[in-house]
Structure 1
């Protein structure tokens, strides 16, 4: 008797991929998702300048070949990252997202702008202000006190602080986006 569990998981993944492809091609018949379509797809309208820049940064992290569009493979990679990635992979993505200017470090202002933008987009209220959250992160994990977080400081600091990891994960919770995708997949 073979391992039937592996077969059913493979069949589920094939079915899921087929549904993702149908959804993607229904929304993007050209086979490419532009930044404008990305915003439309997720219902992101009337954003502040900072929030709009955050969404653009998120779009650019998913546009892996920097051609200005997200193709189906990039779309699947993005969904896989959000759905199935381990903590280290997600932290690498979070760091890239927070490193707004691409300097290889995150400064306090970058973290503040991103946190504020994420909160504006999600519409969820929090006990701690964006500024207080940013300051807490730096107070806890800016080991050398230089006002910037290197990739190593960021990933090690977050992983070594369960409360901070939980707060960061909740802050970047994309379940509302996934619910939209899955809800529309089930309707098809």
Structure 2
């Protein structure tokens, strides 16, 4: 894919349509916006944070944007290309439940050890609370603080709060559909962009 091309080639569109759930028109529109935000053809972590700040002006999206950037950086290059961006966006916004859970696991597994610890979960949930701004959003009763929500989620996995330093959520447990609605809701921050 040409770094400075103003339009996607037919081959690029064909390949991206196979890998995403976007139409040709949507791909072209997203590419135009991507080129505007990343004229060099790549998004850096700082670019990602800046873009998130535009969409979440009432909070501080820095931490969440950093975590999301790492999940969008599919090839672990330290930057996000348009294919990386659009494939991840397609999964996060239009993917199947199984695809969203697989992508979400990458977001929550902060140290990339193949498990989600209590601390991993708390870091991401806290980042979501900071991003959306707790002053502008009404949370569920008993979930005014990130710890309250994480404690509820942790218990959903039959994990003990008394032993939270030693227990972990496996990829298989995370992908279990009984918890899917909570995960999908947490990942739905990109749904409004589509």
TM-score category by the smaller chain?
0.7 to 0.9
* Runs of 5+ consecutive residues of structure 2 not aligned to the other structure: 1-16
4+ aligned runs moved over 4 Å, structure 1: 44-48, 143-146
Distance 2:66 2:59 in 1: 11
Offset at residue 165 of structure 1 (A): 3.3
User: TM-score normalised to the size of structure 2?
Assistant: 0.72
Comparing 131-140 with 96-105, which one deviates more in the overlay? Answer: 131-140
For residues 36-185 of structure 1, the aligned pairs below 5 Å read 36-43=46-53, 52-123=62-133, 124-127=137-140, 128=143, 129-142=145-158, 147-156=167-176, 159-160=177-178, 164-175=179-190, 178=193
Q: Which has the higher helix share?
A: 1
How many aligned residue pairs are there? 163
Aligned-pair Cα RMSD in Å: 2.8
* Runs of 5+ consecutive residues of structure 1 not aligned to the other structure: 1-8, 183-188
Offset at residue 87 of structure 1 (A): 0.4
Q: Is 2:26 the partner of 1:26?
A: no
